[in-house]
Amino acid sequence: MDSTKIGTLIRTLRQKKGLTQKELADQLCVSDKTVSKWERGCGCPDPSLWNKLSSVLDVSVETMLQGELNANEQVGGNMKHSKFYVCPVCGNISVCTGNAVIHCCGRILEPLQAKKASENQKLKVEQVEDDWFITTDHPMEKENYLSFVAFATGDKIQLIKQYPEWNLQVRIQKRGHGMLFWYSTTQGFFYQLL
């Protein structure tokens, strides 16, 4: 833990928020001299203050401990490179176009790693008018179903939530080539090219 880097980050974030050392100190129930000490790299906040400090400065505790904000790598705005997150507790779905720390139900979520679908895993796709009509023979049972289907092109993502005991019948506007993603609650995250 580099107290100088952490202190510099605290100062930068405090100033971005338009807070004085005293205003930050008042929110944390410490003295402004304590905040000054942190910002000069002469010490770090007490562990009991990290959560409150991260909340006030709108940054994760992990980022503060690293002492620097990591800019997201540019992916050229290509939505096909988005990251998908699914909470194993509540099933919440999050999509992010860059690096992020996603929390849900008291845990940090890891981005799903898409596997290329084999021929027998692929969803059935046929063209109906100007749409892709997507179906599957997946059983869609309560404990084993496809949670969502998403179609990503360079500039858009269309995500369709699915529920257990529904037959998967999805229509997605055909708009060029892209990647079709889906998440199975038992088998994981897959993609196929369209």
> Where in the chain are the domains?
3-66, 79-193
Residue 10: DSSP 8-state: H
Q: 37-70: per-residue pLDDT in tens?
A: 999 989 888 888 888 888 888 888 888 887 776 5
pLDDT at 3 over 60: yes
- CB atoms near residue 112 (< 10 Å): 16
Q: How confident is the model at residue 72 (pLDDT cuts 50, 70, 90)?
A: very low
CATH code of domain 3-66: 1.10.260.40
Q: What pTM value is reported for the model?
A: 0.61
Question: Nearest to residue 184, comparing CAs of 171, 173, 170, 168?
Answer: 168
Q: How confident is the model at residue 78 (pLDDT cuts 50, 70, 90)?
A: low
Task: Assess if CATH 3.40.50.10320 describes domain 79-193.
Answer: no
